[in-house]
Amino acid sequence: MAKFNFNDLLIGFDGKPLSNGVDGNLTFKNVCQATLWNTSDRTGEEKYKSYKLSRLIDSDKEVELTVEQVSEIKKQVGSMKYSALVIGLVFDKLEGIDNTKQTLDNTVLDPIQTSDPIQASPIQTSDPIQTSEQAN
């Protein structure tokens, strides 16, 4: 079992909370509950399981989930039309990864160097490749 705070904000690569597109910031709970409430193609039993799981995560405190519950949330979130960023942030949280300070390769971004996470890289202090003229 693992504990989660579903009130956590989802933080983008720029270090700012993602917007919910309406009136505030997107939270871990927003994404998970919206996913669990989307039950159009589920059986009655599956809808009831989604309802119970949604009630469980609708808390202002840390919530303890089983491996099966985490797996179900991941399955449902992955089936939605969220961006890769939102799905990645939610999956990271469900895996216990703090993604607020790191890129995919675990290199801490230098915000002065670039705000583009695709082009962000560790600051290099010297050129490891030298031509024969530079070496002489």
pLDDT tens profile 9-65: 999 888 889 988 888 888 999 999 998 888 778 889 988 999 999 999 998 889 999
Residue type for 30, please? N
Query: Comparing C-alpha atoms, which of 8, 19, 35 is closest to residue 100?
Result: 8
**Residues making up the chain, counted from first to last:** 136
Which residue reads 């705070």 in tokens? 5
User: What are the structure tokens assigned to 131, written together?
Assistant: 């031509």
DSSP code of residue 74: H
The 10s digit of each residue's pLDDT in 65-122 is 999 999 999 998 988 888 999 999 999 999 988 766 544 444 444 443 444 444 433 3
- pTM here is 0.68
For 83, residues 6+ apart whose C-beta sits below 8 A from its C-beta are none
CA atoms within 13 A on the CB side of 2: 13
Q: What is the pLDDT confidence band of residue 131, given thresholds at 50, 70 and 90?
A: very low
